[in-house]
Amino acid sequence: MKIGVLCLQGAFIEHINILNKLGIETFEIRQKKDVEQNFDGIILPGGESTTMGKLLRDLDIFDLLIEKINNDMPVFGTCAGLLLLSKEIANDHRKHLATLNVVAKRNAYGRQLGSFNTVEKFNGKDIPMTFIRAPYIDKVGENVEILSIVDDKIVAVRQKNQLATAFHPELTDCYDVHKYFINIVKNNIK
Ligand code: GLN
What is the atom index within ligand 1 of the atom nearest the CA of 45? 8
Catalytic residue check, 168: yes
Please tell me whether the overall predicted TM-score, pTM, comes out greater than 0.85 for this model.
Answer: yes
**How distant, in Å, are the alpha carbons of 37, 45, 91, 145, 164 from that of 82?**
24, 9, 14, 14, 5
Does residue 53 contact residue 139 with C-beta atoms inside 8 Å? Answer: no
pLDDT band at 110 (very low <50, low <70, confident <90, very high): confident
Q: Which of 15, 79, 96, 178 is catalytic?
A: 79
Q: Which of 7, 15, 96, 168 is catalytic?
A: 168
pLDDT band at 113 (very low <50, low <70, confident <90, very high): low
> Which CATH code of 2.60.40.2140, 2.40.170.20, 3.40.50.880, 3.30.70.3450 fits the domain covering 2-188?
3.40.50.880
Does residue 149 contact residue 137 with C-beta atoms inside 8 Å? Answer: no
Tens of pLDDT, residue by residue over 126-157, are 999 999 999 999 999 999 999 999 999 999 99
132 in ligand 1 pocket by Cβ < 6 Å?
A: yes
Q: Can you give the length of the chain in residues?
A: 190
Does residue 99 contact residue 65 with C-beta atoms inside 8 Å? Answer: no
